[in-house]
Amino acid sequence: MNRIQKPIALIVPVFNEGDGLAVFYQEVKKVLSTLPEYHWKIIFVDDGSEDNSWQVISELSEQYQDVKGLLLSRNFGKENALTAGVQAVGEEIDAVIFIDADLQHPPELIPQLLAEWQKGFEIVSGIRKDVADYSVIKRMGSKLFYTLMAWFSDIEVIPNNTDYRLLDKTVVSFLCQFTERTRMFRGLIDWMGFNKTHLTFSAPARNTGTQQYSFIKLFRLAINSLTSFSLLPLRITGYIGLFIVLSSGSLLTYMLFTHLLEWTVFTPLAFFVVFNTFLLGILLSGLGLVALYIGHIHTEVVQRPLYIIRKKIGNYKDCI
């Protein structure tokens, strides 16, 4: 690397992508070779693949100097795999680009991401126009998720925003300081602010293999994201409880009053039912409140590592 070249790391999360990695590397290299003003490192983070992904990564790293690899001890999920990649490069680079290993994030977009970055944007993200191989359910799920996220969370969420992103090193250094456990990268990055812009792209079908994000995994991610960026679902429980307390409380007072004045005579059962509803309201609002505290405590207390690196290829300090 000469001194004028800017060091950039491509971080590629890999889970059972062995068949496609060599093609991915070639496709990416085609684009990178047109960008000689940058010094590239391609960091594959093997998120506990069960196929030959790690072997392919090792072979690529032996063959090509710009390839590095991290092997996580099991499948920690894409979000944590990206975190592992970011923390490995740290501040040794000028920017990182997250890109999927299945070529659904077209490498041809890289020059445009860089062009926006050169204009001074610190976060450049790819917005997916359409996805070739998404099922109707996945499309609908995605739509529902973004609608809920927009309603519930305090951060601005752009529909169909992806993890295909370029982050400037200032963003990376802040990202490394995040200690929160349940993380949704996109959400965290949106939350951070900075000078942002986006580009749109059409996602082609995967080059090989099957989608690694099963419906269950996506559902879990969606629930995690919603709950880690918003306490509104919990607060709603509390509000419902509060509403019940107030309405049944007033009704009970009214009933007692009119009963004592002998305007209307209520049966003991009627009193019992309203009183029970009142108690239920108290229970529900208390639950909402307790759940809020538990939510906070839970995030702080679970000091589990985000990932465990089993092996490393290469020295990450030599990026400069």
Binding site for ligand UDP (CB under 6 A): 13-15, 17, 47, 75, 77-78, 81, 100-102, 104, 211-213
User: Which 8-state DSSP code applies to residue 289?
Assistant: H
Nearer to ligand UDP, 50 or 262 (CB): 50
Return the number of other C-beta atoms located less than 10 Å from residue 101's C-beta: 29
Nearer to Mg ion, 174 or 213 (CB): 213
SS3 of residue 95 by DSSP: strand
Six token digits for residue 250:
């007033």
Min dist CB 111 to ligand UDP, Å, is: 21
Residue 138, class by beta-carbon neighbours within 10 Å (0-12 exposed, 13-18 middle, 19+ buried)?
A: middle
Min dist CB 304 to ligand UDP, Å, is: 17
Nearer to ligand UDP, 119 or 312 (CB): 312
Min dist CB 133 to ligand UDP, Å, is: 8
Min dist CB 209 to Mg ion, Å, is: 9
Of Mg ion, ligand UDP, none, which one does residue 77 interact with (CB within 5 to 8 Å by kind)?
A: ligand UDP
Nearer to ligand UDP, 135 or 253 (CB): 135
Distance in angstroms (rounded) separating the CA atoms of residues 47 and 66: 20
- By rule CB under 5 A, what count of residues binds Mg ion? 2
Site track for Mg ion across 103-132, x = CB under 5 A: -x----------------------------
Of Mg ion, ligand UDP, none, which one does residue 244 interact with (CB within 5 to 8 Å by kind)?
A: none
Among the residue ranges 32-40, 94-102, 153-161, 225-233, the one whose residues contact Mg ion (CB under 5 A)? 94-102
Distance in angstroms (rounded) separating the CA atoms of residues 190 and 75: 25
Give the strand pairing for 95-98 and 6-14.
Answer: parallel
The pairs formed by 293-297 with CB atoms below 8 angstroms and a separation of 24 or more are 295/227, 295/231, 295/234
Min dist CB 106 to ligand UDP, Å, is: 12
Strands (E), the chain: 6-14, 38-46, 67-72, 95-98, 123-131, 161-168, 196-203, 309-313
Nearer to ligand UDP, 104 or 248 (CB): 104
Nearer to ligand UDP, 17 or 66 (CB): 17
Distance in angstroms (rounded) separating the CA atoms of residues 241 and 204: 47
Nearer to ligand UDP, 75 or 112 (CB): 75
Residue 280 makes CB contacts below 8 A (sequence gap 6+) with 241, 244
Min dist CB 247 to Mg ion, Å, is: 49
Min dist CB 285 to ligand UDP, Å, is: 38
Of Mg ion, ligand UDP, none, which one does residue 230 interact with (CB within 5 to 8 Å by kind)?
A: none
- Interior/surface letters 268-293, b for 16+ CB within 10 angstroms, e for the rest: eeeeeebeebbeebeebbeebbebee
Tokens 């951060």 locate to: 155
Six token digits for residue 218:
């996506």
Nearer to Mg ion, 103 or 124 (CB): 103
16 counts as binding Mg ion under rule CB under 5 A: no
What does the binding site for Mg ion look like in residue numbers (CB under 5 A)?
102, 104
